[in-house]
């Protein structure tokens, strides 16, 4: 079974530029997550989709970050314009179903390492 795919793996941009990341979840997984992991910290949830609807985007900086999941499969995360503090690894994860209170396994992609100069 293919895992979660992300591209690009690495991206270097200058501040105020725009950047987009792509994620292809595991086939059949209804839930998709984007996380930001700053060096030395744990992953921070940015946005969660259930199929193509947004379930939680409370920690997404909406003035510069946007995400979409068209057709409930692939997803893109965009930053426009980027700031120095956006330098981080952006992880995409997917899960089969969000079972309330029962836990659910999230399968993570390898991440995109973004450096903003």
Binding test (CB under 8 A) with another protein, winner from 33, 34, 49, 65 = 33
Nearer to another protein (CB atom), residue 61 or residue 110: 110
Q: Which of 86, 83, 81 is nearest to 34 (CA)?
A: 86
User: Cβ 7 to another protein, closest distance in Å?
Assistant: 14
- Return the SS3 of 99: coil
- Please tell me the distance from the alpha carbon of residue 22 to that of residue 7, in angstroms, as a whole number: 5
Binding test (CB under 8 A) with another protein, winner from 56, 83, 84, 85 = 56
User: Cβ 43 to another protein, closest distance in Å?
Assistant: 5
- Please tell me the distance from the alpha carbon of residue 109 to that of residue 41, in angstroms, as a whole number: 17
Q: What six digits make up the tokens of 86? A: 């956006």
Q: Which residues bind another protein (CB under 8 A)?
A: 4, 33, 35, 40-45, 48, 55-56, 58, 91, 93, 98, 100-103, 105-111
């Amino acid at each position: 079974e293919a895992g979660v795919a992300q591209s690009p793996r690495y991206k270097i941009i200058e501040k105020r530029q725009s950047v987009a990341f792509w994620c292809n979840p595991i086939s059949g997984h209804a839930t998709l997550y984007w996380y930001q992991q700053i060096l030395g910290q744990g992953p921070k949830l940015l946005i969660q989709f259930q199929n193509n609807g947004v379930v939680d985007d409370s920690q997404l900086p909406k003035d510069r970050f946007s995400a979409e999941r068209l057709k409930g499969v692939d997803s893109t995360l965009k930053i426009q314009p980027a700031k120095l503090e956006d330098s981080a690894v952006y992880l995409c994860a997917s899960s089969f179903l969000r079972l309330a209170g029962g836990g659910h396994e999230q399968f993570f992609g390898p991440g995109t390492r973004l450096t903003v100069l």
